[in-house]
């Protein structure tokens, strides 16, 4: 669908359920994904976490953050005292984008244009959820929420995304990619420290 068609659809939806049905009906922007991976959690949740596109496991199971990055996120949330079930989790891009290598489906980074396409849906979704704090996990989420690319390292911490109270931190998958265990531990501890701050800001 064109941007005009999407904005028309979005104007007409009156609930999160209708929005989700419209996202599912719109299909993937890039062919390949099995399904739209929709947001999960409560409307009115204090914290909404926004990730990138779903990964292989999320595409198979149809739920956000259930693969390796999601498991790491769960561990860090527990450690920081945040209950995943009372938060809202979603992705900036709703479909898995990948390159097939043999049997493996390798995650591909979405282009700026693809992020912009999905941004319509995300903004409306967050209007319905209306969280106290919106957390951008990684660069793709920042691009979607801020509407421009910002380096994580220099912008990490509390911020605003338009009118919304926001927080910028790393994506859990970036921790998994660090080759040295010492660096992974340090990055994980810094991530948990961010989540503790997030819990305080949202309460």
Per CB under 6 A, residues contacting ligand URA are 37, 51-52, 54-55, 58, 64-65, 67, 69-70, 91, 173
| Closest separation in Å from C-beta 175 to ligand URA | 12
List 104's β-bridge partners, or say none.
101
Taking CB atoms, the residue at the shortest distance from ligand URA is 51
Which CB atom, from 9 or from 173, has the smaller least distance to ligand URA? 173
Going by their DSSP bridges, the two strands 47-51 and 88-91 should be labelled as parallel
Nearest residue to 137 (alpha-carbon basis) of 52, 54, 198, 75: 52
| Closest separation in Å from C-beta 173 to ligand URA | 6
CA angle 175, 141, 138 (to 5 degrees): 20
8: its two tokens: 């028309």
| Closest separation in Å from C-beta 69 to ligand URA | 4
Which CB atom, from 26 or from 64, has the smaller least distance to ligand URA? 64
Which CB atom, from 65 or from 191, has the smaller least distance to ligand URA? 65
Nearest residue to 117 (alpha-carbon basis) of 141, 137, 91, 144: 144
| Closest separation in Å from C-beta 53 to ligand URA | 6
Residues 6+ apart with CB under 8 A from 62: 34, 35, 37, 38
């Amino acid at each position: 669908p064109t941007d005009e068609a999407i904005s028309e659809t979005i104007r007409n939806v009156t609930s999160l359920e209708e929005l989700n049905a419209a996202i599912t009906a719109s299909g993937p922007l890039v062919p390949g994904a099995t399904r739209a991976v929709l947001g999960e959690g409560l409307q009115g949740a204090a914290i909404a976490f926004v990730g990138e596109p779903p990964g292989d496991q999320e595409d198979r199971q149809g739920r956000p953050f259930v693969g390796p990055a999601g498991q790491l996120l769960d561990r860090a949330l527990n450690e920081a005292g945040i209950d995943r079930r009372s938060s809202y989790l979603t992705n900036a891009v709703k479909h898995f984008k990948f390159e097939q290598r043999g049997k493996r489906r390798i995650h591909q980074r979405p282009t700026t244009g693809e992020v912009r396409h999905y941004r319509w849906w995300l903004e409306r979704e967050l209007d319905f959820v209306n969280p106290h704090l919106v957390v951008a996990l990684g660069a793709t989420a920042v691009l979607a929420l801020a509407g421009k690319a910002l380096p994580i390292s220099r912008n990490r911490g509390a911020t605003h995304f338009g009118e919304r109270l926001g927080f910028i931190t790393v994506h859990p998958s970036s921790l998994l990619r660090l080759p040295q265990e010492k660096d992974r531990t340090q990055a994980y501890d810094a991530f948990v420290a961010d989540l503790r701050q997030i819990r305080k800001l949202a309460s």
